[in-house]
Amino acid sequence: MSANATVLLVDDEPMVRRAIARLLRKAGFETLLADSGESGLETLARAQPQAVLLDLNMPGLGGLETLTLAVERAPDTPIIVVSGSGAIDDVVEAVHRGAWDYVMKPIGDAEMLLQPLRRALEKADLVHQLQTQRASLVRLNEQLTDAVAELRSDQEAGRRIQFQLLPADGLRVEGYALTRRLYPSQYLSGDFVDYFVLDEEHLAMYIADVSGHGAASALVTAMMVALIGRYREALTRQENDVLLRPGELMTALNRELDLHKLKKHVTMFYGVLDLRTHYLEYTSAGQYPFPLLDDGRQVGPLECAGRPLGLFSSARFFTREVSLASTRRVLLASDGVLEVLPEAPGRTKLDELVSRFAASGSIDAIADDIGLVPDEHYRDDVTLLLLERRTEHV
């Protein structure tokens, strides 16, 4: 909630105005008073308060008419209507016309008024953040659209943008090596993979797959990269360390996608490896196939269920951990790999992937055994990320 928020109170009864104004000031709010719908609209335009308390039962320009005009002129300002008991039909109509909440008279307890007011101000803050983020997204969209428009006849232009966002292939740090491969589909799509050092003790990695194809999916990919980049900057500036807590990061990303209402969902696996203890803390948002762990004797999936990002605003994600002390390799793959693998009688495609991973060494050997061919386009993007323990440090 905004500190020292200014609230405009529109009510034609002087005693009610004074009583509510006194209550608001005691709770820390600045107040503006208006005794009619007309003067309320004038004050709203002039002073631009953070919220409005509007009495529905006023002579002259009535509460509902005032509400309609106020919503047209200041659509982002939360308006809470105040109505006498028994006027529930007016309250329902007010909500239909754009009221954010309502309070019924008589107001017997200060919290009856303050709670909906605080909720509305918190929601307004989120709306403001959304507008700021949306403006940033629009700028990113314009940049992407301009880039693709210049080379519209060449689908590879979009793919080049996608590949430019990828990390450099190959990262070695404290006894670990990471390599990645991305085999694009015929259409611009939404697979992405990244890895980066968080600090002297932690390494992060993730693989993500945006639903669908085309520019919209690529845009969401770019947005995800930008959001994670923002969290990386925050970690560098020591403003927050959400990147070190996979469950909290995934919950935050889900909230961002829900606020943007992009009509896209994202499956994702995110993990943070402690380079000292060799524990991997991770969370999953519906990413499949599961990560595969190879300890040199057998390969098995790291089962981790979860809901995709952007589908359920109430979804929560939790951090799990697994020791990689005896693990030689970890493979992350997008679901496009399952379309490339052939059907095997009596075996699931996950079993087939496990078998081919176990029989392969380098990431290129894994891709070759799966049947992936460089420069060939598939029905869906296929992304691979391989984490290896370097032999001299094992």
Largest CA distance in the chain: 85
At residue 148 the predicted structure's pLDDT band, cuts being 50, 70 and 90, is low
Q: How far apart are CA 242 and CA 235, in angstroms?
A: 8
Closest by alpha carbon to 185, among 392, 384, 381?
Answer: 381
Q: What is the pLDDT of residue 394?
A: 38
Give the residue-averaged pLDDT of 188-205.
89
Q: How far apart are CA 145 and CA 251, in angstroms?
A: 29
Q: How far apart are CA 146 and CA 284, in angstroms?
A: 34
Give the residue-averaged pLDDT of 239-263.
87
| pLDDT at residue 230 is higher than 80 | yes
Query: From residue 338, how far is each of 211, 221, 371, 383, 384 by CA, in Å?
Result: 16, 21, 11, 11, 12
At residue 186 the predicted structure's pLDDT band, cuts being 50, 70 and 90, is low
| pLDDT at residue 262 is higher than 90 | no
Domains of the chain: 6-124 (3.40.50.2300), 156-393 (3.60.40.10)
- β-strands 79-84, 101-105: how paired? parallel
Q: How far apart are CA 104 and CA 120, in angstroms?
A: 16
Give the residue-averaged pLDDT of 1-28.
88
Q: What is the pLDDT of residue 80?
A: 94
In the three-class reduction of DSSP (H, G, I as helix; E, B as strand; rest coil), residue 289 is classed as: coil
Q: What is the pLDDT of residue 393?
A: 41
Name the pTM for this structure: 0.59
Q: How far apart are CA 23 and CA 324, in angstroms?
A: 59
Q: What is the pLDDT of residue 150?
A: 55
Region of residue 48 (phi > 0: left; psi between -120 and 50: alpha; otherwise: beta): left
**DSSP class of residue 343?**
P
Q: How far apart are CA 192 and CA 5, in angstroms?
A: 42
132: burial class by Cβ within 10 Å (0-12, 13-18, 19+)? exposed
| pLDDT at residue 153 is higher than 50 | no
Q: How far apart are CA 290 and CA 369, in angstroms?
A: 18
| pLDDT at residue 202 is higher than 70 | yes
| pLDDT at residue 155 is higher than 90 | no
Q: What are phi and psi of 275, to 5 degrees?
A: -70, -15
pLDDT in tens, 109-118: 888 889 999 9
* Residues 380 and 204: beta-carbon distance below 8 Å: no
Between 386 and 1, the higher pLDDT residue: 386
pLDDT in tens, 364-379: 999 999 988 887 777 8
Q: How far apart are CA 190 and CA 335, in angstroms?
A: 12
